[in-house]
Structures are given as C-alpha cells and as structure tokens.
Amino acid sequence: MRTANRDVHSGVGGSIFPNAAWRLVWALNSLKDEDESILLPGFYDSVVPPTEREIELMAQLPDMLDYYREDFGLNGFLKDIDDPLELAIESVYQPTCTICGLTAGYQGEGSKTVLPAEASAKVDFRLVPDQTPKQVLSQLREHLDAGGFSDIEIEDLGGNPGAKTDPDHPAVQLAINAADDVYDTPTRIIPMIGGSGPNYIFQEYLGLPIISSGASDANSRVHAPNESISLDLYEKAAKHFARILIEMEDY
C-alpha cells in the first residue's frame, strides 16, 4: 500500500493525509470475520470435506490438544475447538488465510512521529484440494476492489494447488512396509498435512502418488527459530527412504 512519495510528520499530515498503515490494516481486517471465516467471494465453493476413510485415519492419530496448549503456551484454539478429532480435521481440511508479517513506518528505539507512506504485509492462503492459487488471487482482487481497496497492490510470490493421495493406494502400503524394521513404533497414515510441495504437478500430469516420510519430530520447530532435526531421526529417515527404493524394485 502506497499513499505518498515519502513519510510525513504526523503533525502535518496526521489528520489530512491518508495513512498507508491504516489502509493496509483495514484491508487485512476485511479478509476474515470474527468467526474466522474467510470472506473472499466463493472462497469455500471448491472445498471438499474429508472422506469417511480419512476421518477414520485422523481419529487414530495422537491427541494433540494438551500438547499444543503446553508447548505453544496457548489458552485455547480458534472456533473454541476442544475435541481432538475436530482439531485434527480442522487443521488440514480447512483452507487458511494467515498474516505472516507486517511492515510499516518507524519501529526503532524511541519515538518518531511520522505518517507512513508505505505499508506491506505477507499473507499466505494454505489451500486444500480443488482450490487453485489463480482462483484465490482473483477472489482476493475482487474482494479488495469491492471493499474500496482498489489502491492495494497484490504481488504474487507463487503457490501450488492442493493435492492428496488415496490413503489406500498400494504405494502407501509399500512405504509402510519399508518402515517396519526402521522405526520402533507402527507407522500411522496421515491422509493430508498442511505442507507445501509439488505434489499437484506429479499427481495431475503424471498420475503418480505422493508420499511424505519426513525426519522431523515434535520439537523440530519447522520454519521457526532453531529449526532442527535430530541426527538419529535423520539416519532413520535415510534408511526408510532407502528401503522404499528397494521395495519399488518389485512394485
């Protein structure tokens, strides 16, 4: 958002010049309502709920309620969720709109009474299968224009459509079998995760299943300070991947 060619003293323009920071905050505030529903036109039209089989698999996953509360210091969850299965499903089967960062004006030590001429935000939409980045970008532009924010500039930093593999695909069982002599506990199938990757390209154009078998653990702090993996899990993940390749020889 740009409103002027430079910052201005707030005593000069505070009550008569448009403020880029306020304009951006108001625009961002229009993207969601108080119930956390995303307000872009037609945003949920393509969203498909989990299948009965996927719900069955999600129900077998560990209860994360107390872990999330303790590890992240949370008082509660959005939409007042207090059921482990509902939490697991909501976390990946509902698309998101996340403000990842905000930048505007002076934020150093002390005060500097300026009216920002420019403000920016990084926002990600984590999509579910059948939604596309092109579709959501169009919906975002339409929403901002309809709300009087045609002066907000959108820069597309890239994205991929959502995709998922049938949890009963033979390749999934192959990966499970390959893990038998690597890990100390039985493998559980997570039918969909909130990660990014080129899954859609392989599935849409090559018809190939995509299976993720990572090396991280609950303390890996993905995309946060001190992101890490333990060496023992790194070694096990390498062994698992090698065994997948061996199993594929007979696939």
Q: Token pair 């059921």 is at which residue? A: 83
Which residues pair with residue 129 across a beta bridge?
A: 162
Report whether 81 contacts 63 (CB < 8 A): no
Q: Environment class of residue 25 by beta-carbon count within 10 Å: exposed (0-12), middle (13-18) or buried (19+)?
A: middle
Q: Is the pTM of this model over 0.85?
A: yes
pLDDT of 251: 67
pLDDT of 221: 87
Per DSSP, 78 falls in state G
pLDDT in tens, 191-245: 999 888 888 999 999 999 999 888 888 888 888 888 999 999 999 999 999 999 9
Q: Token pair 């005593």 is at which residue? A: 11
Q: For 58-86, b where at least 16 C-beta lie within 10 A, e where not — what string? A: beeeeeebeeeeeeeeeeebeeebeebee
Domains observed in the chain = 8-47+94-146 (3.30.70.360), 170-248 (1.10.150)
Q: Residues near 19 by Cβ (< 8 Å), separated by ≥ 6?
A: 3, 115, 116
pLDDT of 224: 84
